[in-house]
Amino acid sequence: METQRKYKFDWDNTVGADMQVARPSLGPNTRIEVYRLFQFTLRDVLEQHYGTEAADSLFREAGVMAGKAFFEKFLSGADNVSSLTVKIHEAFTQLGIGIFRVESAETDNSRFIFTVDEDLDCSGLADTADVVCVYDEGFIRGVLECFSGKGFDVKEIDCWCTGSRTCRFEAKMLAS
Ligand SMILES: [Zn+2]
């Protein structure tokens, strides 16, 4: 039996179905600073309580949930990889998430390299020794798994924060 959950995610009830009703004068937009303020304070608290690895893995898990919900909401009409990637590009651009591109793709769809320029999570942040976009790793994994029904491993291999000035993700289909 599922334990009682106060915050179980579903789009209409926890994001909201109609932004015209929710915010008739301010509308659906806020600023990147507000998004990052929320993300990086939550991340700091998770790290302080549970350590870096657990904080990252919780963020990644949330990203998977988000990617699946995002697929259902914006991408579900895609019936092949090229229409999927076009739809991701359009939705990411329209919603201000980042500029999504496919850098390379295996013909059997078992491996992809994606890039996201001007990424919502990290673009413009100070250089660090490590990538930071673990939420996006999960997000892309959620999208690919929802689309294909197959398992994927997604790793960020370059990040704004590592000096690359773009985020680059390698997605590999898991052997079934
Ligand atoms: Zn990044």
CA-CA-CA-CA dihedral for 66, 71, 75, 80, to nearest 10? 130
- The alpha carbon of residue 33 and the mean position of all alpha carbons in its chain are separated, in whole angstroms, by 17
Query: Across residues 23-28, what is the average pLDDT?
Result: 92
Residue 1, in any domain of the structure: no
Q: How confident is the model at residue 163 (pLDDT cuts 50, 70, 90)?
A: confident
Residue 4, in any domain of the structure: no
CA 73 to ligand 1 center in whole angstroms:
24
| Nearest Cα to Cα of residue 56 among 129, 136, 115, 161 | 136
Query: Across residues 8-33, what is the average pLDDT?
Result: 90
Instruction: Give the domain range for residue 156.
Output: 11-173
pLDDT higher than threshold 70 for residue 48: yes
Residue 3, in any domain of the structure: no
Residue 6, in any domain of the structure: no
pLDDT higher than threshold 90 for residue 16: no
What pTM was computed for the model?
0.94
Residue 41, in any domain of the structure: yes
pLDDT at 7: 92
Instruction: HSE, CB side, 13 Å, CA atoms: give it for residue 134.
Output: 16
CATH number, position 94:
3.30.1380.20
CA 167 to ligand 1 center in whole angstroms:
4
Residue 95, in any domain of the structure: yes
What is the domain count for the chain? 1
Q: How confident is the model at residue 14 (pLDDT cuts 50, 70, 90)?
A: confident
Query: Across residues 35-51, what is the average pLDDT?
Result: 97
pLDDT higher than threshold 60 for residue 1: no
CA 116 to ligand 1 center in whole angstroms:
8
CA 117 to ligand 1 center in whole angstroms:
9
Which residues are placed with Cβ below 5 angstroms of ligand 1, an ion?
122, 133, 159, 167
pLDDT at 13: 87
Rounded Cα distance, 136 and 45, in Å: 19
Rounded Cα distance, 100 and 117, in Å: 7
